[in-house]
Amino acid sequence: MAIPCKFERSLLSHDEFETVLPSHHPHIYDIELEGLKALRQRLRDMRDRERTLAREKQRESRGKGRARGGSFPGTAERPSQRKQVFSGALKRVTKEIHRLEKLEARTAHVDAARRALAMRRAAQFPPRPEAGRMPNEGMQSLPPRRRMTRVPGSWIGRISQATKNAQAARDARNAG
């Protein structure tokens, strides 16, 4: 159940209400993502504090816990209502954070899809190869298909000569 702003104002101090106010409808859209995350952390801390106070008051009323904080009189109802105010504000802020993150993800997906479409369209129509020779140019000699290699004269017979030299060296060692 939603809690009216007037009731929130009556439950909270001025500083607390100034913290909760940006979580409401027109103000929440003016805050950047980092500001929302900081606000979410402040609201969590405030909610946790009120939850602790409410639990302590419930334990006191049941007679299970000792009374703490004489300056905090009353029942557990007031801290529970304050906790609900902070929880509602926290829900609104978290919802807005998720909305902004989804919006960023959606724009990233749209950009990626557009890039993929451009790449696909570019690949769909490959560039045409050159036409090559035309029949009206007449007969032309084809370039030779065999690779032309030039072997220096000093290389001819070098392997055979190396084998002969090695054999001669072995014979000279064994003869002596």
Alpha helices in 125-157 (DSSP H): none
Residues contacting 33, CB < 8 A, separation 6+: 97, 100, 101
Checking if the pLDDT of 72 tops 60, the result is no
Domain-located, residue 173: no
Domain-located, residue 135: no
Domain-located, residue 102: no
**Average pLDDT, stretch 143-157?**
84
Domain-located, residue 80: yes
Domain-located, residue 156: no
Residues contacting 88, CB < 8 A, separation 6+: 2, 3
Domain-located, residue 152: no
| Sign of the CA dihedral running 36, 38, 39, 40 | positive
Q: How far apart are CA 66 and CA 153, in angstroms?
A: 110
Return the pLDDT at 122: 86
Residue bearing tokens 């000569």 = 161
**Residue 73's pLDDT band (boundaries 50, 70, 90)?**
low
Q: How many domains does the chain have?
A: 1
Residues contacting 37, CB < 8 A, separation 6+: 97
Domain-located, residue 31: yes
DSSP 3-state of 93? helix
The structure tokens listed for 22 are 């940006």
Report the half-sphere exposure of 11 (CA within 13 A, side-chain side).
Answer: 18
Domain-located, residue 118: no
pLDDT digits (tens, 9 = 90+) for 96-140: 999 999 999 999 999 999 999 999 988 887 777 777 767 676 777
Range(s) of the domain holding residue 29: 5-66+74-93
Global pTM? Answer: 0.61
